[in-house]
């Protein structure tokens, strides 16, 4: 691990945007940006874990003023190198505790990034930090998976999700602590390399309690960015918590 940049150092940042994952598909980005832009109501947006600007840049192109917080200087350097990247303010730091000036109509944390905080206390602190940045009536948005414990047979704690002659990827779960990790083994030029990233999975109801502790209330929850109903079969959710407006 790069101690300065956490688990998202130069090696990861250099290839991050090369991913063929669903989150990089143009229709997914358009739906995400449209959803967030609609919530801002012309106000400012703060992205926790802004990374390389996958969402921040197209959101800024919709005339939304975007600021970001990120621990990884390597990821932010990729954002800065893109057209429009220099116009987005970024504060380097841990998004669970780092503060920036002003308030925002929307704070958002996408694509499972809440799980990069590996303790419940850190996740609670993140909600409180988001709430502190919100103006009255503002919203905190999280996009995250529903923990996939249904895929674990009794007595098993490993779930493989990619197997090929040169690459293996698997998750390891500890259901007692909600600790999990994504693990990668790759063979390059006959040499094996291993990388592991820790996470803490979190349930929707647990997130709602964290929001309550931060003075927020659930406004809506969807299966995805285009308003699909959230059900017991949903594999991820987009949740929106609102900071109550000040009473006159």
Q: Which of 76, 69, 81 is nearest to 12 (CA)?
A: 76
Distance CA 126, CA 141 (A): 12
The secondary structure element, H or E, covering residue 57 is helix 56-60
pLDDT along the chain (248 residues), means of 10: 65 72 86 97 96 95 96 93 94 96 97 95 98 98 95 91 93 95 92 93 98 98 96 97 82
Residue 121 is predicted with a pLDDT of 97
Distance CA 46, CA 30 (A): 18
Beta carbons within 8 Å of 147's beta carbon, 6+ residues apart: 178, 201, 202, 203
DSSP state of 85: G
Distance CA 155, CA 131 (A): 40
Beta carbons within 8 Å of 248's beta carbon, 6+ residues apart: none
Distance CA 103, CA 159 (A): 41
CB 175 within 8 A of CB 149: yes
Residue 2 is predicted with a pLDDT of 52
Residue 248 is predicted with a pLDDT of 47
Main-chain phi, psi angles of 222, to 5 degrees: -130, 160
Q: Residue 163 pairs with which residues in a beta bridge?
A: 168
Q: pTM, whole model, 2 decimals?
A: 0.92
Strand order from edge to edge, sheet including 217-222: 89-92, 66-70, 45-48, 104-109, 134-145, 236-242, 217-222
Beta carbons within 8 Å of 115's beta carbon, 6+ residues apart: 144, 145, 180, 199, 200, 201, 202
């Amino acid at each position: 691990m790069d101690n300065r940049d956490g688990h998202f150092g130069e090696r990861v940042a250099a290839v991050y945007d090369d991913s063929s994952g669903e989150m990089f598909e143009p229709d997914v980005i358009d739906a995400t940006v449209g959803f967030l832009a609609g919530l801002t109501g012309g106000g400012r947006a703060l992205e926790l874990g802004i990374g390389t600007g996958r969402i921040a840049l197209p959101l800024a192109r919709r005339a939304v003023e975007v600021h970001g917080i990120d621990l990884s200087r390597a990821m932010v350097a990729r954002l800065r190198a893109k057209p429009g990247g220099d116009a987005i303010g970024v504060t380097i730091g841990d998004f669970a505790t780092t503060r920036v000036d002003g308030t925002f109509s929307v704070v958002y944390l996408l694509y499972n990034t809440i799980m990069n905080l590996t303790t419940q206390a850190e996740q609670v602190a993140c909600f409180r930090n988001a709430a502190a940045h919100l103006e009255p009536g503002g919203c905190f948005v999280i996009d995250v998976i529903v923990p996939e414990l249904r895929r674990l047979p009794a007595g098993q704690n490993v779930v493989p999700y990619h197997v090929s002659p040169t690459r293996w990827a698997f998750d390891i779960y500890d259901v007692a602590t909600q600790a999990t990790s994504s693990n990668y083994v790759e063979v390059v030029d006959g040499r094996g390399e291993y990388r592991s990233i820790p996470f803490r999975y979190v349930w929707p109801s647990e997130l709602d309690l964290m929001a309550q502790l931060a003075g927020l209330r659930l406004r809506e929850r969807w299966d995805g960015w285009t308003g699909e109903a959230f059900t017991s079969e949903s594999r991820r959710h987009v949740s929106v918590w609102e900071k109550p407006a000040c009473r006159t």
